[in-house]
Structure 1
Amino acid sequence: MPQDQPHHISAAYDADLRRLREMIARMGGLAERQVADAGYALARRDPDLAGEVVGRDGPIDTLEREVETFCVRLLATRAPVAVDLRFIVAALKVSQDIERIGDYARNVAKRAIVVSQQTFNGGLNGFQWMSQLVQRNLKDAIDALVRDDADLAERVWAADAPVDDLYTSIFREMVTHMMEDPRNITAATHMLFIAKNFERIGDHATNIAETVYYAVRGDVLPEDRPKADVSADPMPARA
């Protein structure tokens, strides 16, 4: 065996791990943009931008398949152990969460198109704030993975309760609008589904944070994470 062979293999392995981080970072960036643009399209009642968001979902799905293939190859050819093994498995799981986030952002955009054509007298401040919160949590969760930052992951994990609180507040507000004026029912129903999609994006960002924490520390966060009470929520998870 050539004397420099082990070094060559190690360098190639390190390059593979860097490439995997870059793939996840790119995928996360695409999802962040989808969430941001979906929220902006809703706030501005911009059906053209919302339509763009709907049509941009493909690259995230493609990257998820590439990440899955790449992770399987690394597991098969590199025989990773310890922290490397945890990172590769984490990347595989995180890519699935990001793909779902992309789907929820697309759902927001689809309903934003409908809402832009409806008469709706309610405010959108809560939706804008909710969109910004889940964007920040998603960005921080992806950054935590790329930087192996368990402390940042734990902060994201603890930051989901405000998202749930906003969802509860929006739910009550939309129901009130429906009761006050039946003409609001169609638009308010779509707004309820939009809020639910943002709430689910927040949940997936939290899932990513939990995965990152385990990948870095080799330990799990407590099961009783800070979370608002949404036990009475009648909206389906896959809105």
Structure 2
Amino acid sequence: MRQYFDDELADLDTSFKEMGLLVSETLDEAVQAFLDHDRVVAQDIIERDKAINQREIAIEKKSFEMIALYQPVTTDLREIMTVLKAVSVLERIGDNARNIAMSTIHVKGNKRVAEIEKTIGSTGSVVAKMVSQVLDYYVNDDAVAAEGISEVASGVSDATRHIRELSIDASKADPEQVTAATDYLVVAGYLKRTSDYVTDIAEWIIYKRTGKIVELNPGTSSFI
């Protein structure tokens, strides 16, 4: 029975990792599509969100089945509960990628600001890498590294705050840039929220490893 459980848990971990990689890649592509004003790629990302949702449902179903069949306790139960909690966070990150893509669809030849777009691009790359890194921490059961991801999230907060300041300045300098600046603020907000979601996953990794519930970013959950 133990071997069956371990095999099922390994399959669950693999499914979670695969979903996470899909979400990370989708987020990266969504940011690039926004910067390129690529509505074709953006539409593909919007449609891809359905596949992410289906993966979440499948993982949740398998998790509940394992709890019912094996009735795990202590460490085993924590592992399954971590997947259940973290997979819902991954789905919300996927929603943010979809929402960035929807913003791309809505953009209509607005006057662009190169400095802001450069910052959005670099910040988006950092956030997508955060998603990939936290998955590695999960697979390696690395609570120490997971705790350190809050420092990266703090850097994202600084970057999105800078985007906000640049967007306000651009709007004041040129009324024709107001619409584009609004789009930049929206995308920056999704990136900030995603970095917060990644820290949520890191908190569950720590719980999985130690059984302790921690708060990595208290007081930093504002939209931008």
TM-score range, shorter chain: over 0.9
Distance 1:144 1:71 in 2: 20
TM (normalized to structure 1)?
A: 0.87
1:103 aligns with 2:98: no
User: Shift of the alpha carbon at 1:122?
Assistant: 4.1
User: What corresponds to 1:4 in structure 2?
Assistant: none
* Corresponding residue to 1:12 among 4, 11, 18: 4
1:163 partnered with 2:163: no
Aligned to 1:70: 62
Does residue 1:24 correspond to 2:8, yes or no?
A: no
| Whole-angstrom distance in 1 between the partners of 2:130 and 2:159 | 14
2:53 aligned partner: 61
SS of residue in 2 equivalent to 1:104: helix
The answer on whether the counterparts of 2:199 and 2:217 sit within 8 Å (CA) in structure 1 is: no
Q: Contact 2:17/2:135 (CA < 8 Å) preserved in 1?
A: yes
State the Cα distance separating 1:226 from its structure 2 match.
7.7
Give the direction of change, closer, same or farther, for the CA distance of 1:122–1:179 in structure 2 (3 Å limit): farther
**Equivalent of residue 79 in structure 1, options 45, 48, 71:** 71
Amino acid at match of 2:112: F
Aligned-partner Cα distance in 2 for 1:195–1:104: 11
- 1:209 deviates by 0.4
The letter for the 2-side match of 1:12 is Y
1:190 and 2:183 matched: yes
2:42 to 40, 50, 63: 50
TM-score by length of 2: 0.93
Q: What is the CA deviation profile of residues 42-77 of structure 1, one whole-angstrom value per residue up to 9, with x for unaligned ones?
A: 222222212211111111100111111111111111
Cα displacement (A) at 1:116: 5.8
Give 2:150's aligned amino acid: W
**Which residue number corresponds to residue 215 of structure 1?**
208
Mapped partners of 1:119, 1:140: distance in 2:
35
- CA offsets 1:9-36 (integer angstroms, 9 cap, x no match): 1111111100110110011011011111
Question: How well do the aligned residues superpose, as a CA RMSD in angstroms?
Answer: 1.8
* Aligned sequence identity (%): 29
Segments of 5+ residues of structure 2 without an aligned counterpart are none
CA distance in 2, matches of 1:138, 1:116: 30
1:153 equivalent in alignment to 2:146: yes
Could you list the runs of 4 or more consecutive aligned residues of structure 1 that deviate by over 3 angstroms after TM superposition? 223-228
**Matched residue, 1:225:** 217
CA deviation after TM superposition for structure 1 residue 113, in Å:
2.8
Shift of 1:225: 3.5
Letter in 1 for 2:29: D
Per-residue deviation, residues 81-125 of structure 1 (Å, max 9, x unmatched): 121111100100111000000000011111123336322234211
Cα distance between partner residues in 2 of 1:11 and 1:37: 39
How far 1:156 sits from its partner (Å)?
1.5
Please tell me whether the aligned partners of residues 71 and 88 of structure 1 are also in contact (alpha carbons under 8 angstroms).
yes
Shift of 1:132: 1.1
Give the whole-Å Cα distance in 2 for the aligned partners of 1:116 and 1:150.
44
Question: Residues 42 and 102 of structure 2 are in contact (CA less than 8 Å); yes or no, is this contact kept in structure 1?
Answer: yes
